[in-house]
Every structure is written in structure tokens, then in C-alpha cells.
Amino acid sequence: MIPAHRAWQRTVRALANYACSAVTVMYDMTQINVTQQAGGTFRVRTSAGTSHGGSVPDGFGASLGCGDVAAEELVRASFEFLLEREPATSVLREFSLDVISQYFPSYPAEIGARLGGTDSGTPR
């Protein structure tokens, strides 16, 4: 017979493995469609059936160290970043990209690194 604490440890490990794989599957299955709208705003639709409005403040790309990147690519990378961390149904329906760092402090460094800025360990 297996001691109770060993059975509990196996259960916890199995749940942890399941949770990690579920997050990966969720991101892999969600596709993103970014469309520029009037006034420099963007509409983002996901294959999960959600729709989001986003805006990019003037100079925001440059503040992340990726000023030469098109705003549409910055929006796409930002949504990929978000979907790696939460389901599409949890992403705000309307927001400016500069608020993401209020929820995820690593956002500026990670997006800068992804889009050709400095590495994510460099403070900005």
C-alpha cells in the first residue's frame, strides 16, 4: 500500500503537469487576427471567439526599444504575450497597450526583446 503522503504527491504532480499542458494547448490553439481601424486603433479577433479593441500610444514602440516595428506587429506580439499568460476570455475588451505592464510587469522587457530590442534582462 502507498503511504498517503506519496499518493498526495503523485496527485499534485499529475495536476501540475496537466495544468502546464492545458496552458500550452490553449495558446497553441488560439489564432490572432489583427486589423487596423480608423484613428490608429486596432481590432483583434481570436479563434476563441473574442474580439478586442486596442490602441498604441504615440512613441510607445520606441519606449520599448522597438521603434522600427509596425504598430500592427506590436499589437500582435502583445496579444501573443497575453495569451501565453491567460485565456482570451480574460483579456480586456478595450485597452491601450501601455496598460499591460500594470498587470504584467515583465511585459516591456519581454516585448522589447521579442521585437528586436535589447535582451529581456536589461532594465529600461
Instruction: Assign 67 a pLDDT band (cuts: 50, 70, 90).
Output: confident
Summarize pLDDT for 77-114 with one digit per residue, the tens: 999 999 999 999 999 999 999 999 999 999 999 999 99
**In whole angstroms, what is the distance from residue 61 CA to residue 3 CA?**
56
Q: Does any domain span residue 13? A: no
Judged against a pLDDT cut of 60, whether residue 17 lies above it is answered with no
Q: Tell me whether residue 94 is in a domain.
A: yes
Orientation of helix 107-114 relative to helix 71-83, angle to 10°? 120
Domain-located, residue 7: no
Residue 1, domain member (yes or no): no
Which pLDDT does position 85 carry in this prediction? 95
98 belongs to a structural domain: yes
Instruction: Give the domain extent around 101.
Output: 31-114
Residue 18 lies in a domain: no
Is the residue at 37 inside a domain?
Answer: yes
